[in-house]
Chains A and B, each alone.
Chain A
């Protein structure tokens, strides 16, 4: 036999083994021994009546609130009053009817009234005895105590309750019954866990959880003013994050405006004060701290004749290739502009007549984009801001570059 055939056989055997294991894990039925979930005490006794040494399987994982009936003792067998104490025997004196049925009912009644399962040993019929023990247990044992009760009743191992030791058969659950119960509990736990997850999703995977983490991570930051050049008395907006609903203080240099409100936490509106013409550093302070950053100052120019921000209106060609030189047309460019783009920034780009030119291939990250896998033949979105002494273009101009 060649090694390949050996390998094939070994592989086949392993697959079969795995399939069998999977079958038993996922598709095996519950124990064949007895309907452990449905067998009640009477059936158990009947089962044992054929052979008293047979173990009696009883569902002992009843949920709280159900009326599962379990006897205090799981011993089933014939009757005997020989082991009863003198006091107990006195209690049964009245139960001397020659009719067995009548006598058994009497014993049961006395046992229940006195809450003494041991008195049930005076009953002849096995089934009646079990019923008697069950009735006493029903009174004595709340179902909550039955839930997850140990599988072996140690009391049943004692022999002083009944004289007929041969009939002692402790109530046990076999490993298959335990496995079945365990598997059902596992399924229930999984269902409950899934329901809980739907009701209370993990914040790591929800948008709300992300926004909460984002807010906690950002602190207070002032991004920009809605205008760069403004005249005194103009109402403008400061945009950022971490603003409180009330109690925000906006600083313009040494001048401050306190008591500003922010309904959304990201904007505050204010009227530009009548300060001397000039450029002022702005920042916001509140209970979250201060947004002031020395290395990236947010500026506001107060002037009596504000100039609008630069803005790009069009490009040529409309769909440039990566090697093309692109001509940008717009307004308020002045003689020199700076640009911030997807592929990198460039300063001091000369502008004339409302136009300036730029070659994307001159930008910092162009080579990385060009060499990216699968980029050839595709269009890449390109964003560009232009800024100069008149401020920053409000929105990025967006177009595609053909690679």
Chain B
């Protein structure tokens, strides 16, 4: 009976959490929401930021690929606090069009283009699903 009770509790708990949505906040423009998994990253040595290439990257429900920039101390991280870690799923808000990654190319720094910069981001664990 105990295993059955456990199943029962788990089932009801799942039902409860599926039916009762958690509190959420809409993003405030110009911040837009994004999600995805970075595959690799490039250090932006001139701007002290990290350029991440996401695959997949969800800006809408249609998956795509592309780069997004994480700026330590400017981007607000949330649990599990693994921004830019490859294969750790990311979910957060970004500001489109802001070029916050500058790399050094011999005689000067140049911007490494990206879709935008993360304003805040929460992560899963590496290998976790979205």
- Inter-chain contact A218/B95, CB cutoff 8 Å: no
Name the segment of A47-55, A178-186, A222-230 touching the other chain.
A222-230
Which residues does chain A contribute within 8 Å of B56, judged by CB atoms? 373-374
A396 touches B113 (CB 8 A): yes
Chain A, Cβ-Cβ closest to B118:
A210
Which chain B residues (1-42) contact chain A, with CB distance < 8 Å? 1, 4-5, 7-9, 11-12, 15-16, 25, 27-31, 37, 39-40, 42
A392 within 8 A of B: yes
Q: In the complex, which range does the number of interface residues on chain A fall in?
A: 35 or more
B interface SS class: mixed
B124 contacts partner chain A, Cβ-Cβ < 8 Å:
no
Count contacts on B: residues with CB < 8 A to the other chain: 56
The yes or no answer to B72 lying at the interface (CB within 8 A) is yes
Contacts of B37 in A (CB 8 A): 373
Determine if B39 and A392 form an interchain contact, defined as CB atoms under 8 angstroms apart. no
Q: List residues of chain A with CB within 8 A of the CB of B27.
A: 205
Cβ contact within 8 Å between B55 and A375? yes
Minimum C-beta distance from A348 to chain B (A):
12
- Within the complex, the shortest CB–CB distance from B24 to chain A, in Å, comes to 12
Cβ of B36 to closest chain A Cβ, rounded Å = 11
B79 within 8 Å of A by Cβ? no
Q: Of residues 353 to 403 in A, which have CB atoms within 8 Å of B's CB atoms?
A: 365, 368-369, 372-375, 378, 380-381, 383, 385, 387, 391-392, 396, 398
Picked from B5, B31, B48, the residue with its CB within 8 Å of the CB of A10 is B5
The interface residues of chain A lying within 8 Å CB-to-CB of B8 are: 7, 10-11, 14
Question: B48 to nearest A CB, angstroms?
Answer: 7
Cβ–Cβ < 8 Å partners of B1 in chain A? 6
CA distance A214 to B117 in the complex (A): 11
| Complex CA–CA separation, A298 to B102 (angstroms) | 13
> What A residues does B50 contact at CB under 8 A?
none
Partner of B107, one of A11, A209, A221, A392: A392
Map CB proximity to A onto B100-119 as digits: 1 under 8 Å, 0 otherwise.
10111111111111000101
Q: Which A112-139 residues sit within 8 Å CB-CB of chain B?
A: none
Q: Which residue of B lies closest to A202 (CB)?
A: B25
Binary flags per residue of A205-220, CB closer than 8 Å to B gives 1, else 0 = 1110110011011100
Q: Which 3 A-B pairs have the closest CB atoms?
A: A224-B108, A372-B55, A217-B73
